[in-house]
Amino acid sequence: MKNVGIIGATGSIGSQTMEVLRENRKAFNLTGISSHSNYKKTIEIIEEFSPEVVVVTEDNAYDIIKDYCKDKNKKLSLYRGIESLEKVSEIKENDILVTSVVGMVGLKPTMKAIENGTTIALANKETLVAGGRHVMEAARRRNVDILPVDSEHNALFQCLQGEKREDIKRLHITASGGPFRGKKKEELINITPEDAVRHPKWNMGMKISVDSSTLMNKGLEVIEAHWLYGVDYDKINVVVHPESIIHSMVEYKDNSIIAQLSNPNMKLPIQYALTYPKRIDCNIKELNLFDIGQLTFERPDTDTFTCLKLAYQAGKASGNAGVILNTSNEVAVDLFLNGVIKYLEINEIVERCLNNYEYMSKPTLEDIIQIDKRIRKDLYGLYLGGK
Ligand SMILES: NC(=O)C1=CN([C@@H]2O[C@H](COP(=O)(O)OP(=O)(O)OC[C@H]3O[C@@H](n4cnc5c(N)ncnc54)[C@H](OP(=O)(O)O)[C@@H]3O)[C@@H](O)[C@H]2O)C=CC1
Ligand SMILES: CC(=O)[C@@H](O)[C@H](O)COP(=O)(O)O
Ligand SMILES: [Mn+2]
């Protein structure tokens, strides 16, 4: 029986993690969760899994859940606010923490869990983009595994089993191309949030769906792969593969390319991270090789989808460029989803921030947290007059 904590239990990854737990009740015990605004789902999880620790980061949802727990005489430890996310990381019994919050709010609780020696099942890629050096150094120091949940990185992880890191020639990260594959900039001027979140292959949260549409998701994934596998940026290749059947590939020095294939369903990488190094049956549709038809590959169009280019630049620059890229993108996507800016302003804001904020080659964790705060204050101040 593995004890599992989840930050971001109510989202797309969180809910699919619950499905994996539900289908393997004897293998997992849910110790603690966090949620933000979705109090209904939080209550459902409390009823079904009886976690001992519940953190609710949004005030209104917290008040509702507090009243609910009082009415129903629930014996659990309930905490409010973003600083309390670490209460889930601190649960001593945890064997593994699933990080499925969206955004770099995941950084501090991930660091805390690593300090406590807890294995991380990492979905929250923004944490590695902003603080990759600190996260990986802490994990090495504490001898903690960071197991990738992101489908591409989980695929790479599977392709790397039993192999030597020094034998890697190249990583090939596949991209669906998003909902606007094949379009040029002129055709993207009037894109609405509804258009941008309509992903062709995956049903995901709003922020990552927009990131997929701009190819920023792939850029964040390139940086995530660099930190997870220690591979240089010139050896990380993005290949557009619209069928989303091959989830990524590792090319070795003997020119063998090993790929991982499955129908697109996040339950598989979530489950593999939770059961690693074991494999168990997974309740997803099996891949019928006679039905899938052609598998195709294209080069990404980085003249149109410049976010991918910006991410490579930030990754190579290293230092605080990752957090600048990530935070400016988080805010820009939020402004776009709320109708404040146009679609093509997302990459403009990110590029401007990368050019304008002072570069630091060796930021401390505190430097990273401070620059994140400053960029948020500046951008929300500029576009909303403060938030
Ligand atoms: N969805 C997917 O298929 C994939 C997602 N990922 C990554 O996993 C992470 C989660 O993505 P996804 O599940 O799609 O996102 P969702 O938006 O569906 O879920 C986000 C989760 O984080 C919580 N949350 C939202 N805002 C805050 C906040 N300010 N503070 C604390 N918690 C917050 C939400 O709570 P509530 O719902 O209660 O408001 C929810 O539990 C992202 O980093 C994403 O890039 C990676 C690969 C695939
Ligand atoms: C499911 C998953 O891992 C997402 O990150 C997915 O990769 C998004 O699709 P894109 O390839 O369009 O970014
Ligand atoms: Mn992915």
Nearest CA to ligand 2 atom 3: 151
Does residue 123 register a pLDDT over 90? Answer: yes
Q: State how beta strands 236-240 and 168-175 pair.
A: parallel
pLDDT, tens only, 13-43? 999 999 999 999 999 999 999 999 999 999 9
Cis omega (within 30 of 0) for bond into 277: yes
Categorise residue 144: left if φ over 0, alpha if ψ from -120 to 50, beta otherwise: beta
Residue 118 has which token pair? 């807890």
318 annotated to a ligand binding site: no
pLDDT, tens only, 310-333? 999 999 999 999 999 999 999 999
Which pLDDT belongs to residue 189?
Answer: 97
Sheet hosting strand 236-240, strand order edge to edge: 236-240, 168-175, 246-252, 257-261
What is the ipTM metric for this complex?
0.99
Mean pLDDT along residues 77-96: 98
Question: For ligand 2, which residues put their CB under 6 angstroms from it?
Answer: 150-152, 175-176, 178, 202, 212, 217-218, 266
The full DSSP string for 344-370 is: THHHHHHHHHHHHSPP-SS--HHHHHH
Which pLDDT belongs to residue 316?
Answer: 98
Question: How far is it, in rounded angstroms, from Cα 151 to Cα 176?
Answer: 12
Does residue 165 register a pLDDT over 60? Answer: yes
CA of 8 to the centre of ligand 1 (A): 6
Mean pLDDT along residues 66-80: 97
89 annotated to a ligand binding site: no
| Terminal alpha carbon distance of the chain | 43
Question: For ligand 1, which residues put their CB under 6 angstroms from it?
Answer: 8-14, 35-38, 57, 82, 100-102, 105, 123-126, 150, 202, 204-208, 266
Neighbours of 220 (CB within 10 A): 27
pLDDT, tens only, 355-376? 999 999 999 999 999 999 999 9
Confidence of residue 387 (pLDDT cuts 50, 70, 90): low
On whether the CB atoms of residues 191 and 343 are closer than 8 A, the answer is: yes
Give the helix ranges, DSSP H, for 72-121. Answer: 86-89, 107-115
As a whole-number percent, the residues of the chain with pLDDT over 90 amount to 99
Which of 204, 270, 333 is the pocket-test mutation for ligand 2 (most atoms within 8 Å of CB)? Answer: 204
The full DSSP string for 42-57 is: HHHHHHHH--SEEEE-
Give the helix ranges, DSSP H, for the chain. Answer: 12-23, 39-49, 59-71, 86-89, 107-115, 125-142, 151-160, 193-196, 206-214, 216-229, 267-275, 306-317, 321-337, 345-356, 365-384
CA of 256 to the centre of ligand 2 (A): 24
Mean pLDDT along residues 161-180: 98
199 annotated to a ligand binding site: yes
Which pLDDT belongs to residue 14?
Answer: 98
Give residues with Cβ within 8 angstroms of 303, minimum separation 6: none
Which pLDDT belongs to residue 228?
Answer: 98
Which of 18, 20, 41, 102 is the pocket-test mutation for ligand 1 (most atoms within 8 Å of CB)? Answer: 102
Give the helix ranges, DSSP H, for 161-305. Answer: 193-196, 206-214, 216-229, 267-275
Q: What is the mean pLDDT of the chain?
A: 98
Residue 111 has which token pair? 């660091």
- Cα torsion 92, 93, 99, 101: sign: negative
pLDDT, tens only, 106-118? 999 999 999 999 9
328 annotated to a ligand binding site: no
Question: How far is it, in rounded angstroms, from Cα 154 to Cα 250?
Answer: 12
Does residue 386 register a pLDDT over 90? Answer: no
Nearest CA to ligand 1 atom 19: 11
Amino acid at 144: V
Ligand 1 atom nearest the C-alpha of 124 is 43
Indicate yes or no: pTM above 0.90.
yes
Nearest CA to ligand 1 atom 15: 205
